[in-house]
Amino acid sequence: MTEKDFLPKHTEALPESGKVAWKAPSNIALVKYWGKKENQIPANPSISFTLDACATRTTLSFQKKETTSKFSFDLYLDGKPKADFKPKIEVFFDRIAEYVPFVKEYHFVIETSNSFPHSSGIASSASGMSALALCLMDLERHMQPNMDPSFFMRKASFLARLGSGSACRSLEGDLVVWGKHESIEGSSNLFGLKYPYKVHDNFKHYHDTILLVDKGEKQVSSTVGHNLMHGHPFAEERFKQAYHNLTSLQTILESGDLEEFVKVVESEALTLHAMMMSSNPYFILMKPNTLEIINKIWGFRKETGMPVCFTLDAGANVHVLYPESIKDSVIQFIQDELVAHCDNGHYICDRIGTGAKELIIPKK
């Protein structure tokens, strides 16, 4: 598929007004996306677990307006106007207008809320952009009632990517690949693809306990970080490494080899941060407690032989990943040893999820 396949093909007239709502999950990458080309094209393919508990709910109300020269929308987070999110949505609308031109025909009210506290240091852009893209596709479906459900999801992922790259992996469960990889049929730089091969039972019901080390705002945004991969001395090698790590993960996902899984996932997390530390300008997003937790996880793994591992996204928080079979021991370990390193003892128990859901809007 190419970008052209996502241009509009409406058959019906635009509705005057209405309301749609979607809930979309967050995701955690196992092979990381870090570095991009123009138009939100990733420099390397990535793969993520779709989460369950961490999610965004968005209601989109739409009303036809007179002029179509500018975008017009109000944005609320947890019922309160959120002016500082508006520029990001404005950029998003600008990037997607070619594919969903009706965005200029409406005044929108976007009401959004996250299941996780907004001061948790957990990025809401993946679940937020995904939920909004799904709402917009719902509106497009009003005009094209025979739309194929798989095209609906694909175009929603395509649009979400233009809002935030990792958002295109936040629509379906339980594993999603984004970026062209020769051994994953159907993979594309343009949208996320539900991982199309058989996955070993070891990876079913995987857990992700998110340890909130630092709930403050990040000093360097992901978008700035991605841009620092242009001209980065290790960029090309890093992109090749991510590609090979995805090849390795494919074998691991099939065989259920948890020891190898741990190696690839932790190496990806540390390499992501190594790229940040070797950028120009360089920066560090980990905090002392991030390292304390990593060391304790390594100690616990050595002592018990249990395949618990960590990953990081672009921040100080630690995602502790482990299979269902060792859940009780790991939760005990987290409570006894790791919670002390969390900001106010806060952590979120999450697990692999099944993807986004349409929400029923109650009739008044």
DSSP 14: P
Q: Does 25 help bind ligand DP6 (rule: CB under 6 A)?
A: no
**Among 165, 173, 192, 323, interactor with ligand DP6 by CB under 6 A:** 165
Q: Does 56 help bind ligand DP6 (rule: CB under 6 A)?
A: no
**Span of 18-26, 28-36, 69-77, 242-250 interacting with ligand DP6 by CB under 6 A:** 28-36
The residues that bridge with 319 in the sheet, in sequence order, are 210, 311
Q: Does 162 help bind ligand DP6 (rule: CB under 6 A)?
A: no
Number of residues located near ligand DP6, criterion CB under 6 A = 17
**Span of 11-19, 132-140, 158-166, 279-287 interacting with ligand DP6 by CB under 6 A:** 158-166
**Among 20, 24, 29, 160, interactor with ligand DP6 by CB under 6 A:** 29
**Span of 25-33, 54-62, 136-144, 197-205 interacting with ligand DP6 by CB under 6 A:** 25-33
Taking the CB of residue 213, how many other CB atoms lie within 10 A of it?
A: 25
Q: Does 44 help bind ligand DP6 (rule: CB under 6 A)?
A: no
**Among 44, 46, 157, 317, interactor with ligand DP6 by CB under 6 A:** 46
* Whole-number Å distance between alpha carbons of 107 and 73: 5
Q: Which of residues 82-141 bind ligand DP6 (CB under 6 A)?
A: 123, 125
Overall size of the chain counted in residues = 364
* Whole-number Å distance between alpha carbons of 320 and 293: 10
* CB-facing half-sphere around the CA of 322: CA atoms within 13 A: 24
**In the complex, what is the shortest distance from the CB of residue 161 to ligand DP6, in angstroms, rounded to a whole number?**
8
| CA distances in angstroms from 284 to 235, 239, 306, listed in the order given | 17, 20, 29
Taking the CB of residue 149, how many other CB atoms lie within 10 A of it?
A: 8
**Span of 161-169, 187-195, 296-304, 326-334 interacting with ligand DP6 by CB under 6 A:** 161-169
CB closer to ligand DP6, 309 vs 314: 314
**In the complex, what is the shortest distance from the CB of residue 291 to ligand DP6, in angstroms, rounded to a whole number?**
18
352 phi and psi angles, rounded to 5 deg: -65, 135
CB closer to ligand DP6, 165 vs 323: 165
What contacts 46, CB < 8 A, 6 or more positions away? 29, 31, 32, 33, 166, 169, 177, 178, 179, 242, 246
**Among 32, 207, 215, 232, interactor with ligand DP6 by CB under 6 A:** 32
Q: Which of residues 216-235 bind ligand DP6 (CB under 6 A)?
A: 222-223, 226
Q: Which of residues 287-316 bind ligand DP6 (CB under 6 A)?
A: 313-314
**In the complex, what is the shortest distance from the CB of residue 78 to ligand DP6, in angstroms, rounded to a whole number?**
21
C-beta contacts of 263-270 below 8 A and 24+ residues apart: 264/30, 264/31, 265/30, 265/309, 265/310, 265/311, 265/321, 266/309, 266/310, 266/311, 268/29, 268/30, 268/31, 268/32, 268/242, 268/311, 269/32, 269/310, 269/311, 269/312, 270/312
* Whole-number Å distance between alpha carbons of 290 and 341: 8
Q: Which residues bind ligand DP6 (CB under 6 A)?
A: 29, 32-34, 40, 46, 123, 125, 164-166, 222-223, 226, 272, 313-314
